[in-house]
Structure 1
Amino acid sequence: MKWEGNRQSDNVEDRRSDGGGGGMGGGGGGNLLGALLGGRLRMGVVVVALLGGWALGINPLTLLGMLDGGSMPAGQVSQQPAQRPPADDRMAAFVSTVLADTEDVWTDVFAKSGKTYEKPHLVLFRGARATGCGQGESAMGPFYCPADHKVYIDLGFYETLKNQLGAPGDFAQAYVIAHEIGHHVQNLMGISAKMEQMRSKVSPEKYNALSVRLELQADCLAGVWANHAQSARQLLDAGDVAEAMNAAAKIGDDALQGAGGGRVVPESFTHGTSAQRQHWFDAGLQSGTVKNCDTFASRNL
């Protein structure tokens, strides 16, 4: 991926030295599973949310609120001034550059439809981080919080993506960011609010099915970004698309559940199968249009 020397975003907050993110809603810290189980949520709901959030999606705490018919308390967000990443931090520079490119693409796309794109912030953190959606933890993987319009990522996730999930490559890493920005686009379009309204109206199983469509749409929007970035700036090297498609395959619900001989439970899927994730990323990549990403209207995912 040709990214070096390109513009870097000013909307990256380096919170890696903040020393943790505080407790859940003012109630003290503790570990994620302890907080979840202490709230007596159904174990199946916990598993669905953790798996769904970890595999490149929205904050699992948000999913838990949706799936269990309630809302998770917001964390105590740090008031310390945000720092810019060090100039010699190569991975932070990469993330900042990809974020800047998504800003350029979506600002243009929104402008062409007569709308204004609100640029999100991307927060670098380590360990744990209080967010507008509750306490975020590194084990969740990257996530987007619709409440504060921020993407959160512990850069150590990229080592997990490469070494444990078998999805190396800089464009695979860019796909991760583009997917989360896809959730921001959905939020600005009002899709996230509609999902929120549905949480108390349908069963957990039906909400899982809606979540799959939400996640596949974010994959498609990541493909739309890649299409425009390539057309405008020729960012892609040979093999980059294959890296993203491989990453999409490795994080499909069926692939994650089946890893290590686990049982695949389709009714618990929240992100879609490997084939579905590849299909919808490619749909956005080939068309470059948001209208081709209407997974909610599609009969066949």
Structure 2
Amino acid sequence: MKWERGSREDHFEDIRGQAPRGRSRGGSALKLGGGGAAVAILVALVSQVLGVDVGGLFGGGAGGGQAGQAGQMQQGQPAPSGTPVNPATDPDNELREFTKFVNNNVQETFDAMFRREGKTYRYAKLVVFTDVVDSGCGQTSSAVGPFYCPPDEKAYIDFSFYRDLKARFGAPGDFAQAYVIAHEIGHHLQNILGIDDKVRSMTRSDRARENEFSVMQELQADCFAGVWAHVASKAGLVEVGDPEEALNAASQIGDDRLQKRAGVQVNKETWTHGSADQRVRWFRRGFDKGDLSVCDTFSSSAL
């Protein structure tokens, strides 16, 4: 993917190296054991078994429950303490610049779409953190993976997820990383469009279909990510092989793939994000059409 360093900072927050309230660096915190994507598989399975929406790209975004429930320790969103990462000595500075660029590009794309329809787009903030973060959804472990929190309108990611995406999930490439960011901003789009509220209302009315509604919402976020990728391609940012990186990432984190990887029986009734084929299909739909209107998973006769 073609991108530039030095992107604007106003929709980006880097709190790596800073400890959330009530926790010093090196102290204990509620975790689900292990690290990164390996834990994300466990998180997804816990979500499916217990019926609790617990994460971002794996366990939920803006959908049926508030992001961060599994790693939540306390409510509130205080200023973190500790020493911020120094860009001059930051080994992940390239990732920081890339993430910042993609976040801005995704949101500027949606902003332009809103303006063409005479609407106002409300920018989200993307927060990068290490291990544990205080959000409007509570104190959350990075074990849940990237997530979006509707109350504070922020998306959260620990850079360790990028490494896990490549090493543990077989989904390398910068465009796979860009897909992750676009998916979470897709949840923000759902929030400001009122789709998040719609899903909560539907879930309250029909608890038996909660997972089904969650799948619809997650696949729509995949489709929104595909719409952004279409526009980025038209703008000359997408290079040969980039779409395949995103499609591979979408496939690798399908619910059926996660269940197989965890050694449990594939059970469609427990899915919260959709199968590998479904996630690929809806990302590709957005990528092929480049229009948000084609992403109405809630009215689709077949997911």
Which band: TM-score by shorter chain?
0.7 to 0.9
Unmatched 5+ residue regions in structure 1? 24-28, 35-42, 66-71
- Does the 8 Å CA contact 2:215/2:274 hold for their aligned counterparts? yes
- Does the 8 Å CA contact 1:171/1:240 hold for their aligned counterparts? yes
Q: Which residue does 2:230 correspond to in 1?
A: 227
Q: Does the C-alpha gap of structure 1 residues 53 and 114 become closer, same or farther in structure 2, counting only changes over 3 Å?
A: same
Q: Does the C-alpha gap of structure 1 residues 56 and 108 become closer, same or farther in structure 2, counting only changes over 3 Å?
A: farther
Q: Which residue does 1:292 correspond to in 2?
A: 294
CA drift at 1:30? 4.6
Moved >4 Å (runs of 4+): 43-48, 80-85
CA drift at 1:181? 0.4
Unmatched 5+ residue regions in structure 2? 34-45
Identity of aligned residues (%): 43
Q: Which residue does 2:149 correspond to in 1?
A: 145
Secondary structure at 2:79 match in 1: coil
What amino acid is the match of 1:11?
H
Secondary structure at 1:130 match in 2: strand
TM score, norm. by length of structure 2? 0.84
TM score, norm. by length of structure 1? 0.84
- Does the 8 Å CA contact 2:217/2:297 hold for their aligned counterparts? yes
Q: Which residue does 2:138 correspond to in 1?
A: 134
> Which of 92-101 and 45-54 deviates more?
45-54
Secondary structure at 1:144 match in 2: strand
- Does the 8 Å CA contact 2:256/2:276 hold for their aligned counterparts? yes
Q: Does the C-alpha gap of structure 1 residues 137 and 80 become closer, same or farther in structure 2, counting only changes over 3 Å?
A: closer
- Does the 8 Å CA contact 1:124/1:153 hold for their aligned counterparts? yes
Pairs within 5 Å for 1:69-80 = 75-79=75-79
- Does the 8 Å CA contact 2:67/2:148 hold for their aligned counterparts? no
CA distance in 2, matches of 1:111, 1:90: 31
- Does the 8 Å CA contact 2:147/2:184 hold for their aligned counterparts? yes
- Does the 8 Å CA contact 1:9/1:97 hold for their aligned counterparts? no
Q: Does the C-alpha gap of structure 1 residues 50 and 21 become closer, same or farther in structure 2, counting only changes over 3 Å?
A: farther
CA distance in 1, matches of 2:68, 2:285: 29
Q: 1:207 aligns with which of 207, 210, 219?
A: 210
Q: Does the C-alpha gap of structure 1 residues 229 and 22 become closer, same or farther in structure 2, counting only changes over 3 Å?
A: farther
What amino acid is the match of 1:229?
A
What amino acid is the match of 1:269?
W
Secondary structure at 2:205 match in 1: coil
CA drift at 1:16? 1.2
CA RMSD of aligned residues (A): 2.8
Q: Does the C-alpha gap of structure 1 residues 74 and 31 become closer, same or farther in structure 2, counting only changes over 3 Å?
A: closer
Per-residue CA deviations over 1:131-155 (Å, capped at 9, x if unaligned) read 1112221101100001110000001
CA distance in 2, matches of 1:213, 1:261: 25
CA drift at 1:194? 1.2
- Does the 8 Å CA contact 1:216/1:277 hold for their aligned counterparts? yes
CA distance in 1, matches of 2:142, 2:283: 25
What amino acid is the match of 2:79?
Q
Q: Which residue does 1:86 correspond to in 2?
A: 87
What amino acid is the match of 2:231?
H
CA drift at 1:86? 2.4
CA distance in 2, matches of 1:22, 1:143: 22
CA distance in 2, matches of 1:85, 1:196: 41
CA drift at 1:12? 1.0
> Which of 113-122 and 168-177 deviates more?
113-122
Per-residue CA deviations over 1:31-76 (Å, capped at 9, x if unaligned) read 1559xxxxxxxx76665546764527417961697xxxxxx89722
